[in-house]
């Protein structure tokens, strides 16, 4: 196979490509309600997502994860950048064109309690869009709905019940069935287990993995729970204040986290062994405002490795290992790991605590 054929095959394997995506929210004030600033919720992220795989998007609350997911689906209009789905820029589509591909791009919301209409029975919630988009013929509608509900762990008699009659885990299964009913190829999972009991997490995650195998689904899995992300993801993107600071395969990032922020996140993962020693990395200070981010590297105000140029120059992105990239000045000279620093005070308390 020639180089051009290899590149074409690799491109065909990519379902979603995001290029320098930005989403700013205007800040208005004054007597005439003029725009006086911008909240840079997503400030130039780029990544590729292969068919049938899962990318975990992680970071602290307020870093822009959910905004990125909703902007990719055009639930929010982008400020700039490109969102290529099967090679087509979603941002340039008219309402009619976007409606035609809506069934292929779905979302599972974080809160199953507020994302379901309390006035509609479950059958109508799941099947409303199926009828609207003509997914199946009328004579096959009931059987199709039963099959979808069965795949998601629901029974046919649940169709006549209302959301308030179900537990949190069952409601999330209804949300998954609603998305799956449209036969999508790409699903944004916006923290789908964070509002559920810990005992239910594994059931929902295993359900998502089973559905992915059966339907060749592609997931963008947004979460702050790194143990869940490790279980379901193939690749990982770490976000901080609207930017991706590190991306790569799951195995590479968990085995060798490169960015100081990634190391701090991973050090906070609870250990099941109470006798195990944790090398906790304490982040000092609080997250800066996305309306007034720091100059240079946005993380420099909380970074133990901060140098003079970190506060003045934006860092470039370096590929330290094949497919493993990091955006940090410390890797400018071809470094493969962070320099050693003296251990922190174990009794120190971070702002996040």
Dihedral angle of Cα 46, 51, 53, 58, to the nearest 10 degrees: 20
> What pLDDT shows up at residue 344?
61
**Reported pTM:** 0.89
Provide the residue count of the chain. 353
Q: How far is the C-alpha of 176 from the C-alpha of 174, rounded, in Å?
A: 5
CA atoms 157, 162, 165, 171: torsion sign: positive
Torsion angles phi and psi, residue 179, rounded to 5? -70, -45
Contact 242, 43 (CB under 8 A): yes
The pair of structure tokens assigned to 290 is 């996305």
Beta bridge partners of 58: 238
The pair of structure tokens assigned to 135 is 């997914």
How many other C-beta atoms can be found within 10 angstroms of the C-beta atom of residue 254?
17
Residues 275-301: tens digit of each pLDDT: 666 677 778 777 888 999 999 999 999
Dmax (CA) of the chain: 70
Contacts with 118 (C-beta within 8 Å, 6 or more apart), sequence order:
162, 163, 164
> What pLDDT shows up at residue 171?
94
Q: Fill in the DSSP letter of residue 54.
A: E
Hey, which bits of 211-344 come out as E strands?
218-222, 235-240, 243-249, 317-321, 324-327
| Nearest Cα residue to 171 out of 192, 188, 140 | 192
The pair of structure tokens assigned to 66 is 């959910």
| Nearest Cα residue to 252 out of 343, 340, 341, 336 | 336
Q: How far is the C-alpha of 157 from the C-alpha of 91, rounded, in Å?
A: 40
> What pLDDT shows up at residue 24?
96
> What pLDDT shows up at residue 285?
75
Torsion angles phi and psi, residue 72, rounded to 5? -60, -35
Regions in the chain scoring below 50 on pLDDT: 4-9, 349-353
> What pLDDT shows up at residue 338?
76
36 class by beta-carbon count within 10 Å (0-12 exposed, 13-18 middle, 19+ buried): exposed
């Amino acid at each position: 196979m020639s180089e051009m054929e290899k590149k074409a095959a690799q491109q065909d394997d990519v379902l979603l490509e995001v290029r320098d995506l930005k989403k700013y929210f205007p800040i208005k004030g004054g007597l005439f309600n003029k725009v006086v600033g911008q909240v840079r919720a997503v400030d130039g992220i780029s990544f590729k997502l292969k068919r049938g795989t899962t990318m975990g998007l992680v970071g602290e609350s307020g870093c822009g994860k959910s905004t990125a997911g909703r902007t990719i689906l055009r639930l929010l209009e982008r400020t700039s950048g490109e969102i290529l789905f099967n090679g087509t820029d979603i941002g340039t589509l008219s309402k009619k064109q976007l409606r035609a591909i809506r069934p292929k791009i779905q979302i599972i919301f974080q809160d199953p309690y507020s994302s379901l209409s309390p006035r509609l029975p479950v059958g109508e919630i799941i099947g409303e869009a199926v009828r609207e988009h003509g997914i199946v013929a009328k004579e096959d509608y009931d059987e199709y709905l039963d099959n979808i509900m069965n795949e998601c762990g629901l029974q046919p008699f649940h169709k006549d019940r209302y959301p308030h009659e179900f537990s949190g885990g069952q409601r999330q299964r209804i949300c998954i069935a609603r998305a799956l009913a449209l036969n999508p190829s790409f699903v944004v999972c916006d923290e789908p287990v964070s509002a559920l009991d810990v005992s239910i997490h594994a059931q929902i995650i295993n359900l998502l993995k089973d559905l992915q195998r059966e339907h060749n689904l592609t997931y963008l899995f947004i979460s702050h729970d790194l143990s869940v992300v490790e279980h379901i993801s193939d690749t990982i993107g770490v976000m901080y204040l609207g930017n991706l600071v590190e991306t790569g395969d799951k195995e590479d990032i968990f085995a060798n986290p490169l960015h100081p922020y990634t190391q701090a996140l991973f050090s906070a993962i609870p250990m099941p062994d109470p006798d195990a020693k944790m090398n906790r990395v304490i982040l000092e200070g609080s997250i800066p405002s996305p309306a007034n981010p720091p100059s240079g590297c946005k993380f420099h105000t909380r970074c133990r490795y901060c140098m003079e140029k970190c506060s003045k120059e934006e860092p470039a992105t370096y590929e330290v290992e094949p497919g493993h990239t990091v955006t940090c000045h410390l890797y400018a000279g071809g470094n493969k790991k962070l320099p050693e620093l003296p251990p922190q005070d174990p009794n120190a308390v971070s702002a996040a605590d």
